[in-house]
Amino acid sequence: MSRTRETTLSRRTRLLLAAISVAAFSLPLYIAAVNVFKFNTQITRQPLALPSPVTTQNLVDGLTRSDNLLWIGLRNSTIISIATVVLIVPVAATVAYWVVRRRNRITKIALMVLMSGMMIPPHVVFIPAVEVLEFLGIARTFPGLVLFNVGGGFLSFAVFVYVGFMLTLPKNLDEAALVDGATRMQMLMYVVFPLLRPATATVAIFIGLWTWNDLVTPLFILGPSQGITITSGIFVALGQYNNDYGQMFGIMFLASIPILIYYLLLQKQFTSGLLSGSSKG
Amino acid sequence: MEEFDLEVLVFETPALTPEFWDATLAAAAAPIDGVNVVKLVTPDLDRTAYAKQLQAAGQLPDILAALNVNDFVEADLLVPYRDDYLNEHYLFPDATKIDGNAWQTPTGGQIITMVFYNETVFADLSLDVPTTYAEFVGVAQAVRDAGFVPISYAGAEPWSASLTLSTLMAVDVLGQDPDWVIRRTAGEVSFSDDNVVAAANKWKHFVDEGLVDAGALGVNYDGATNAFLDGEAAMYMMGSWWLGAAGQADFPVGVFPFPTDSGDVVIPLHVGGNLSVSALAEDIERAMQFAENWHTDPEVSRFLIESDGLFVYVKGQGAPDLGAEVLPIYNEAFAWTTDPSNTVVPPFAWTVNDRMLMPPGFNDEFYAAAQNIFLGDDVVDEMARLDEAFDIAN
Amino acid sequence: MLDVAASGGLLLFTTFVLIPLAMSFYVGFTDQNPLLKDANFVGLDNYRELIGDESLHRALKNTAKLTIAATIGANLGGLVLAVVLDGTSRYYRVLRTMVFVPQVLSAVVVSFIFVTILSNRGILNSVLGSIGLESLAEPWLGKPDLALWSIATVVTWQMIGFTTVVYLAALQSVPDDLLEAARIDGAGAWKRFSKISFPLMGQGLTIAVTIVLITTLRLYDHVAVLTSGGPGFRTETAVFYLLRMGFTNNRIGYASSIAFVLLLIIGSVSAILVSLMRRREVQL
């Protein structure tokens, strides 16, 4: 929108309106945040009030549990999420580049099949996927879960974003390099991939969020014996602390901090990447 | 001996804490060579369904806590406890047997359900403890008319929502015909029979009369507990495990068995154990040894008595034997289960033994029926639906 | 070389989606039990049964209601918030970041927050009570209709984080000179939005609507935490019912047949919607 057309007065009113809307929208977040620092007695009696007295007991209790639930969950989820993002980015970018630059009947069919992957409820493929992983000898392992993440419905989304973004890149850009004798792979790596930054940020944000927040996939594919992920850990704690809101808010707060920081670090990059992600191919 | 990981699937609740499991599992493993216990915790889903998920994904743990064993037995996935072990250690060695085998130990008994009441409220309203069903309804109405919620009821979780209906079924149907479920499986009786419909109608009557809070399907177990503890409700129908929590109340808590029409006392008593041993365990012998050790550890018994209100049936490990700290109401309720003039039946859709074998998924249908009746569904239709669900699942 | 590299990705997809999908399709014609290795081929029995399965129909109806409500709600809400937040100062940047937070949190966390708000003794009812509006207090998660709308509200709230970001990006991609020209021609704010900005946001609309739609059609986590499908199974979604049949009632075969019906529904609904919306997209 134009940056000149507003008078100072209406600009202030607009900002106020925006702030009020966001405040109302964020009320549930406020509730979650203030109750992290309260004792249970105050949570029950004054759920909306500011903490008084302020306590960090809920956080300390969460971090010093005898079963190390949070630490194990944070470690496992960090490993799984990073590995998934690091692998899916080059895989999806390559497939997308192939689809966009080869442009023949095969790539069209491949893209269609890949896109349909977004519609499959993952619950449908869990049990047979375990059999496949068993066959490959990586059932119930971190590599098994990461490969399942990279190859599954997440890949469809990542390819969708990359294809859309690549279509907006001028074609002559890399054709010129081709004339210079570079191979397609070299062009992808040195010319195209650096230009894909917004799309890569989009993919990294969403795949990272989804992997971190995934409840059901790790329960099936990894199982409990390899240790719990952070989101299934919250679910476990919910059983134990279902009447101890302070503990639950504390654990959820701690479990959400890393992913919030991750989002804040990447957010500048990503909106433009998402938007060109509508596949016109 | 070679070292191996023994995976134990447990569930954690406010009463059965991580610390309890960690300490007792370690103690059970200590005397056995080479056992490295790996505690796995069920996420807050249906435990039995989660164990099935694990089996489907090829990762059934070696030991499973508090399973609905029925389906696992049929699939030959469990190992039974040895008869000489059961005879040596348990007061009722046959109580959990299905077809002659015990897949869970007969560790202890729970009344599901009984009535807890606020003695102060009863005294203020000059109410007597009811001994017949008619008196019970009278008391509840008097409480209601005085502006209290008569019965605190947790309707949000299906299992707790079904407690009253389950108790009615146990008291009114099984109390007259202890083999009712066996005969239902054989097709000789049905949920549409008059006596069953009458029992279900009592539940409907509870709801219609406002004896439970109209919004109770939005109240979870903790909410209902707190409503009773805060003095908002005069009575609380709950399993005897709540005997372990009743000490939190800042008013005197009394108890009475859920009354029958005639005033004869029928006690719905669940007898069960905790751990089951997987037939797929890497080392069945040591897994079984572990489970046996755990069940006969006096510290486990003491904890279950004090925190979970369990009537422990391990020989020499009852509350007095161990000097466990219990409330007088624990002893009072325990006495009902041993009084020879009382009839003892298994709670409906809760226990799993020869007399109470439900087809897969049926318990959930039964729990839902209790909620549906609460929501105003026709009782006769709902019972017909249960018959259909029973037959499909069978 | 490129073909080889790309086929690696396709191979992964085949291994972890297509092959399992084919296996699951086969299971839909058997009586597979999660506890047993062997299963019997039962032909079309499962598909015949699901045609008359009223619990499934109810679950599908719930899914449809939730999907329609969340898709409309999250997109309208996102659009409004995007317009409100389309400013340039750093204050707006902070506000925009806050709006996306629900989308960053897991469904389990978001649903738990709302359990503390919506349960009978929860925050909403106690606030209503303290401002003298006790009569408006309701068992928000305990009455089937209300509970379904409560779930829809929670999902909508969380998805608004996503849609707002998409619409903001779409709004900001509308060329300033077009809007400026319209303003000089005397077009008001509403007219500029409805005649210029909105038509040019077609691409964002397609993405936002499709993602919300696909997410809600597969809804499970929110329901598991908020209501467990109750009371009386009346807020079960299709995926929730599918998992109950599979792992509570031991009927993996039947659950697989339901999964394929669901897949068919999701596939055709999104295909129709996308092609309709594509047609509306205005290209610059």
Which residues, in sequence order, are CB contacts of B307 under 8 Å at separation 6+? Answer: B15, B16, B20, B244
**Span B316-375, pLDDT tens digits:** 999 999 999 999 999 999 999 999 999 999 999 887 788 888 888 888 889 989 999 999
User: Does residue B337 sit within a domain?
Assistant: no
With an 8 Å Cβ cutoff, is B41 touching chain A? yes
Yes or no, beta carbons of C120 and B75 under 8 Å apart: no
Average pLDDT over residues C10-31: 94
With an 8 Å Cβ cutoff, is A13 touching chain C? no
C108, C196, C256, C268: best mutation site toward chain A, by most A Cβ within 10 Å?
C108
With an 8 Å Cβ cutoff, is C199 touching chain B? no
In whole angstroms, what is the distance from residue C241 CA to residue A93 CA? 36
Distance from CA of A1 to the nearest CA of B (A): 46
Distance from CA of C134 to the nearest CA of A (A): 16
Question: Which candidate from C6, C95, C220 shows the least CB-CB separation from A19?
Answer: C95
The CATH number for B254's domain is 3.40.190.10
User: Does residue B97 sit within a domain?
Assistant: yes
Number of domains chain B is built from = 2
CA-nearest residue of chain C to B280? C35
Chain B residues within an 8 Å CB radius of C33:
75
Domain that holds residue B371: 111-269+345-393
Chain B residues within an 8 Å CB radius of A217:
none
Residue B136 · residue B197 · CB < 8 Å: no
With an 8 Å Cβ cutoff, is C250 touching chain A? no
pLDDT band at A2 (very low <50, low <70, confident <90, very high): very low
With an 8 Å Cβ cutoff, is B100 touching chain A? no
ipTM reported for the complex, 2 dp: 0.88
- For chain A, the chains sharing at least 3 beta-carbon pairs closer than 8 angstroms are B, C
Mean of the per-residue pLDDT values for chain A? 85
Whether residue B230 sits in one domain with residue B134:
yes
Yes or no, beta carbons of A130 and B53 under 8 Å apart: no
Yes or no, beta carbons of B57 and A225 under 8 Å apart: no
**Span B17-36, pLDDT tens digits:** 888 999 999 999 999 988 99
Q: Which residues of B touch C (CB under 8 A)?
A: 45-46, 48-50, 52-53, 55-56, 71-72, 74-75, 77, 155-158, 161, 213-220, 223, 226-227, 360-361, 364, 368-369, 371-372, 374-375, 377, 393
Yes or no, beta carbons of C112 and A264 under 8 Å apart: no
Whether residue B320 sits in one domain with residue B351:
no
With an 8 Å Cβ cutoff, is A257 touching chain C? no
Chain C residues within an 8 Å CB radius of A117:
13, 17
- Residues 207-266 of chain C with CB under 8 A from chain B are 224, 227-228, 230-234, 243-245, 247-250, 252
Residue C137 · residue C54 · CB < 8 Å: no
With an 8 Å Cβ cutoff, is A24 touching chain C? no
In whole angstroms, what is the distance from residue B33 CA to residue A122 CA? 42
In whole angstroms, what is the distance from residue C104 CA to residue C195 CA? 33
**Span A134-191, pLDDT tens digits:** 999 998 899 999 999 999 889 999 998 899 888 887 777 667 667 676 777 887 887 7
- Residues 116-175 of chain C with CB under 8 A from chain B are 118-121, 138-144, 147
CA-nearest residue of chain A to C3? A98
With an 8 Å Cβ cutoff, is C189 touching chain A? no
B12, B17, B19: best mutation site toward chain A, by most A Cβ within 10 Å?
B12
Is residue A6 predicted with pLDDT exceeding 60? no
Amino acid at C254: Y
Domain ranges of chain C: 39-279
Whether residue B127 sits in one domain with residue B180:
yes
In whole angstroms, what is the distance from residue B277 CA to residue B281 CA? 8
Whether residue B125 sits in one domain with residue B200:
yes
Whether residue B202 sits in one domain with residue B120:
yes
- Residue A7's pLDDT is 59
pLDDT band at A61 (very low <50, low <70, confident <90, very high): confident
- For chain B, the chains sharing at least 3 beta-carbon pairs closer than 8 angstroms are A, C
User: Does residue B236 sit within a domain?
Assistant: yes
- Whose CA is closest to A262, among A193, A207, A199? A207
pLDDT band at B44 (very low <50, low <70, confident <90, very high): low
Whether residue B179 sits in one domain with residue B249:
yes
Whether residue B349 sits in one domain with residue B244:
yes
Average pLDDT over residues C155-160: 96
- Residue B273's pLDDT is 87
Whether residue B121 sits in one domain with residue B208:
yes
In whole angstroms, what is the distance from residue B59 CA to residue B280 CA? 10
- Residues 36-55 of chain C with CB under 8 A from chain A are none
C32, C138, C248, C256: best mutation site toward chain B, by most B Cβ within 10 Å?
C248
Write out chain B in H/E/C secondary structure: CCCEEEEEEECCCCCCCHHHHHHHHHHHHCCCCCEEEEEEECCCCCHHHHHHHHHHCCCCCCEEECCCCHHHHHCCCEECCCHHHHHHHECCCCCCEECCEECCCCCEEEECCEEEEEHHHHHHCCCCCCCCHHHHHHHHHHHHHCCCEEEECCCCCHHHHCHHHHHHHHHHHHCCCCCHHHHHHCCCCCCCCHHHHHHHHHHHHHHHCCCECCCHHHCCHHHHHHHHHCCCEEEEEECHHHHHCHHHCCCCEEEECCCCCCCCCEEEEEEECCEEEECCCCCHHHHHHHHHHHHCCHHHHHHHHHHHCCEECECCCCHHHHCCCCCHHHHHHHHHHHCCCCEEECCCCCCCCCCCCCCCCHHHHHHHHHHHHHCCCCHHHHHHHHHHHHHHHC
Average pLDDT over residues C160-181: 86
pLDDT > 70 in chain A, percent: 88
With an 8 Å Cβ cutoff, is B4 touching chain A? no
Distance from CA of B223 to the nearest CA of C (A): 7
Whether residue B132 sits in one domain with residue B263:
yes
Whether residue B183 sits in one domain with residue B84:
no
B59, B220, B280: best mutation site toward chain A, by most A Cβ within 10 Å?
B59
Whether residue B121 sits in one domain with residue B73:
no
CATH of C39-279, one of 3.30.590.10, 3.30.110.40, 1.10.3720.10, 3.40.10.10: 1.10.3720.10
Whether residue B235 sits in one domain with residue B121:
yes
Yes or no, beta carbons of A2 and C206 under 8 Å apart: no
Yes or no, beta carbons of B161 and C34 under 8 Å apart: no
- Total-model pTM: 0.89
Mean of the per-residue pLDDT values for chain C? 89
Classify C20 as helix, strand or coil.
helix
- Residue B45's pLDDT is 65
With an 8 Å Cβ cutoff, is A245 touching chain B? no
User: Does residue B74 sit within a domain?
Assistant: yes
pLDDT > 90 in chain C, percent: 50
Average pLDDT over residues C39-64: 94
User: Does residue B338 sit within a domain?
Assistant: no
Which residues, in sequence order, are CB contacts of C268 under 8 Å at separation 6+? Answer: none
With an 8 Å Cβ cutoff, is A129 touching chain C? yes
- Residue C282's pLDDT is 62
Distance from CA of B41 to the nearest CA of A (A): 7
With an 8 Å Cβ cutoff, is C23 touching chain B? no
Question: Which candidate from C105, C126, C270 shows the least CB-CB separation from A119?
Answer: C270
Yes or no, beta carbons of C95 and A18 under 8 Å apart: yes
